[in-house]
Structure formats: C-alpha cells, structure tokens
Amino acid sequence: MSAIAHSRILGSGFVVGEHKVKNEVLSKVCDTTDEWIKERSGIEERYFVREGTGTSDLGLGAAKKALENAQVDAKDIDYIVVATMTPDYYFPGVGSLIQAKLGLSNIPALDIRQQCSGFIYGLQVCDALIRSGAAKKLLFVGCEIHSGFMPFSKKGWDVVMGESNEPISQEEKDWNSKFRHLLVLFGDAAGAVVMGPSEDGKRGLLGFSLHSDGNNVESLYVPSAGFKYRPYFSEAHVKEGRFVPVMDGRTVFKMAVTKMPEAVMEVCQKTGHTLDDINLVIPHQANLRISEGVQKQLKLPDSRMYNNIQRYGNTTAATIPIAYDECRTSGRIKQGDLVCFVGLGAGFHWGAALMRE
C-alpha cells in the first residue's frame, strides 16, 4: 500500500500556435461574421500553427515552460502522459515524440484520447500513477492542432494566415461555409503541468467524477481515417470533406450544460465538500455560452468561474491547463484554494476533478 495520500501540480505552462487569427479573417473565407461568432460562442480570436509545426512541438513548448515553472529538470521526469486528439501521426502517439524532443529516453510515455475531457481523464491517470508510486515526477501535457481539420484550400489558408489578400472564389467560400459552425470554434495550443506527490498530504487532487456514454458518438466525431474503412483513409474521404469533424452543436451544447453541473455536484459529494467550498471552477472552454449555462445552474458569481475562450477558442485537451496556468500566474488561484475542473467532449466523455491548490 502506498503512503502517498495525494498528488499535486508542481508547475504549469502553455504555448499557442504562431499566428493569431481574428474572427474578421474567417469571414473572408466562409459565410460568417465577427458578431455571429462572438454572440454564439464568445470567441474573438484563436491561434493557428504555421505549416511544419506539429502537436508534439506545441506540447514540447508547454512542457518546457511547466518544467521551468516547477523548477524541475527534464532529466528528473520519470513518466510522461499526453492527452491529444490531434497527434502528429496516426500512430505512434505524441508522448514518445515529446519524450525524445526533451532529450529523454526509456521512461514510459503514455497517450490518452478523451478529446475535450482529455485533461480531466488524464489527471486521474496521473494521480493514480503518482499515488501508486509508479511515478515520482510526472509530466502531463494537453496539446492540440485543430487547424489540420480545417477545410481550406492552399489559397484560403494563405488568407487565414495573413499571407494573401486575394479573395477566394465563391465556390470555395460555399464549400468552407458547409463547416462554418465548426471552423470558427477551434484553435491550436498546448498546456502542461508537472506533477508529484503532495508533501503535506493536504494539497493536491482530492477526487474525480468521470463518466462516458457511447450512445451518441455520431453527434461529434471524425467520419474518416478509421479502420472501419479499407484503406483507412482515401481520396473520396477528402473530396467529401469527411476529414472535418461532424458536430451536432445543439446536442453537444445540451449535453454540456446538463452533465457538467452534475459532475461538479458529484465530485463535491464524493469528497465531502459543498459547492460553497469551491473557490474557482475552471470549465473546459468549448463555448462561453456553455460556461455561462453551467455557471447559472450552479448559481456561481463571476468571481468563481474562469473563462478565457475569447482569446484562444476551443483548444480541447489544452483548455484547462492553459486556464489553470493563467489563474496561477495572475493570482486568481492562491495556495489553499479549492479548484474544480470540469468538462465534456466527444465520446461522449465528461467529468470533474477537485483539487486543493
């Protein structure tokens, strides 16, 4: 039996894609407006990577910042866990790529794919690894490059990335507009934390409430690049736009505003806390309106809910570590605070984690 009561976060950091893309730019390549995007999602801008940057590169950037913040040398890391739904390659995952880029070898590197709940699911895995004694200094990265899902041609992409002002054809705009409800929401970024045993036994992760339900998989999924097909990816998939995620936004929205507050209440109950004990809820950043819906149901004042989707869009597994890092560095979270992470995403997977900072 391990004597370690809790694991805790020792340091955090994040990076974003190299190029900032404001809503107005997206209105040049599809039928949308800054007003619509802001009103329906709260998003004002997001970052996309330049060609050649991989998810492991963003993950590496975030990892380095988290290591520096935790004052931990990379060579002391004995386990790497990565949450991503957008790996550099179909296989292997990103964990071993980040390991090699950090100049490490031999230590275990594990990838998990729980999409927007990746960070919360991963926290439970990391916590268990540390409490069991399997890891003493663990690096946990949430990283995503969503721009690869975008339907733009080279011409459209150059406009998005500020490299061309040439108008795209109406035909291309019509094609892109088929995906407009989706392409305005996402961004590229990575967040990371370094974790280890909690010395005083009080600080750290206190409990989790996690759930999955595979009954509505087709409400949010990528209908290509899968081994249900032979070959697993084809020219027809590209022509039909089947590499772009399919998303029934309303179903996802409703699930999120129902299941996220339930998960917060459940993790409080499981750990012997009440909602009033929580200093700050950090929700997965999928849509500002979802966060507002969750906040309303939990009857929380603005001071106890954190949002930053306005500046980054939805970066899936990276949203929570980015928000957490901003809160730590700005003083919004102080030592001793009770922090609740909560999210829902494709799968569907959802859940909450409670942590004493």
Binding residues for ligand UT7, per CB under 6 A?
32, 36-37, 40-41, 116, 180-181, 184, 247, 249-250, 252-253, 256, 286-287, 314, 345
Closer by beta carbon to ligand UT7, 233 or else 253: 253
Shortest spacing between CB 220 and ligand UT7, in angstroms:
6
> For residues 297 and 259, is the Cβ–Cβ distance under 8 A?
no
Using CA atoms, how far residue 139 sits from 45, 316, 354, in Å, is 29, 18, 19
Is 17 strand, coil or helix? coil
Among 145, 131, 87, smallest CA distance to 111 is for 87
What is the C-alpha separation between 197 and 131, in angstroms, rounded? 7
For ligand UT7, give the closer residue by CB, 37 or 278: 37
Give the active site residue among 69, 287, 307, 314: 314
| The one catalytic residue among 19, 23, 30, 116 | 116
Alpha helices (H) along 148-232: 154-160, 170-177, 180-183
Coil, strand, or helix at residue 285? coil
Q: How far apart are CA 229 and CA 84, in angstroms?
A: 23
Measured in degrees and rounded to the nearest 5, phi and psi for residue 139 equal -105, 125
Minimum CB separation of residue 104 from ligand UT7 in Å reads 31
Q: Cα–Cα distance between 288 and 303 in angstroms, integer?
A: 15
Extract the tokens encoding 298.
């939990």
Cβ closer to ligand UT7: 59 or 187?
Answer: 187
Contact 344, 260 (CB under 8 A): yes
Integer Cα distance of 35 and 43 in angstroms: 10
Chain centre to alpha carbon of residue 132: 26
d(CA 29, CA 156): 6
Q: Out of 23, 284, 287, 307, pick the active-site residue.
A: 284
Q: How far is the CB of 321 from ligand UT7 (least distance, A)?
A: 15
- The nearer residue to ligand UT7, 87 or 345, going by C-beta atoms, is 345
Question: Does residue 119 contact residue 126 with C-beta atoms inside 8 Å?
Answer: no
C-beta of 108 vs 249, nearer to ligand UT7: 249
* 176 is an active site residue: no
Q: Find the residue with minimal CB distance to ligand UT7.
A: 249
If the CB atoms of residues 79 and 157 are measured against ligand UT7, the closer one turns out to be 157
Q: Which is nearer to ligand UT7, 102 or 185 (CB)?
A: 185
**Smallest gap, in angstroms, from Cβ of residue 259 to ligand UT7?**
12
Q: Is 116 a catalytic residue?
A: yes
Angle between helices 288-298 and 34-41 (to 10 degrees): 30
Run of H or E including 262: helix 249-271
Q: Minimum CB separation from ligand UT7 for residue 41, in Å? A: 5
Examine the residue annotation and report whether 237 is marked as an active-site residue of this protein: no
Q: How far is the CB of 37 from ligand UT7 (least distance, A)?
A: 6
CB of 310 vs ligand UT7, minimal distance in Å: 14
Listed in sequence order, the residues at least 6 apart from 274 whose beta carbon sits closer than 8 Å to its beta carbon are: 268
Just list the catalytic residues: 116, 284, 314
